[in-house]
Structure 1
């Protein structure tokens, strides 16, 4: 009898496994429609969805990025979830966009890290990694700005010194011309 019960127990497990496998099949051939971002049905985690979203974003022209940023901001306003925070931070950290703001992106990512309701470890890890990379990018940009300012200051100093050198050369030329003309100065 136990042999018969084992056979009946295996049949429902096989059926449930088959049904679960069927639910992950996509309904369309593309998970990135031309009208905007739509997560794939094959996405298994929030981090994977965000990585696909970033891949989608980096291929978009500027006008589409602006529309996507507006949609992401509205979604964040309506629902302050960690995924929405990271999504907006991704957009804010994209270079060469009119809404580029690394400080705001860092603020959102720090909110994910400080969230009292623990986000998934992988989402928290992604947010921490992004925050670290953006902070490092900010430090590098600040260093580049400082070096650029120092270069401008040194250029001004070099120009001033060159002006002094040119002034001394002109005085020497004038003295030499005066000596050649036979003009002498009386004490």
Structure 2
């Protein structure tokens, strides 16, 4: 969603030329098209793009293939390595692609923290469920004792 929003964002930097913003738009269209492809078509596309990954646009296409959900080549660690390669490359001059690379890298860096938070919340939920089950068991036992006492009281001759 964020990547689609970036493609539609009217925000432009002052140093960004129309050609550079075109690369970002083309990359967003590529991402949209690629994510809708069946696995076999993704494999063919990967082979073609991998052959020309030396260009900054090709590197960013490889990044997109590594970060998109549903990609057969999804690999966050590989995406970070490709982003680092892109950001350090001497031919990486397209400000739009550099900015996008920085945003994607920041999102990938934040993802483990979010996953850790989710894991902690899941553990708390399990702990609370165990506590609720234990309390329900105690309540059931108390109700059984109360019923037994009531039955004894009713069974006593008057």
TM-score bracket relative to the smaller structure: 0.5 to 0.7
Whether contact under 8 Å (1:50, 1:87) holds in the other structure is no
Distance 1:59 1:73, change over 3 A: closer
Structure 2 equivalent of residue 177 of structure 1: 151
* Larger relative contact order (Cα-Cα within 8 Å, sequence gap ≥ 6): 2
1:92 aligns with 2:92: no
Distance 1:124 1:65, change over 3 A: farther
Given the two structures, how large is their TM-score scaled by the length of structure 2? 0.64
Q: How does 1:162-173 map to 2 (within 5 A)?
A: 162-173=136-147
SS where residue 19 of structure 2 aligns?
coil
Distance 1:70 1:125, change over 3 A: same
Distance in 1 (CA, whole Å) between partners of 2:111 and 2:40 is 22
Whether contact under 8 Å (1:106, 1:134) holds in the other structure is yes
Structure 1 residue runs of 5 or longer lacking an equivalent are: 1-42
Shift of 1:132: 1.0
Count of equivalent residues: 139
Q: How does 1:1-187 map to 2 (within 5 A)?
A: 44-45=19-20, 48-59=22-33, 62-64=36-38, 67-68=41-42, 70-72=44-46, 75-76=49-50, 79-115=53-89, 117=90, 119-120=92-93, 122=95, 123-182=97-156
Given the two structures, how large is their TM-score scaled by the length of structure 1? 0.56
Whether contact under 8 Å (2:92, 2:98) holds in the other structure is yes
Shift of 1:50: 4.0
Q: Which has the higher helix share?
A: 2
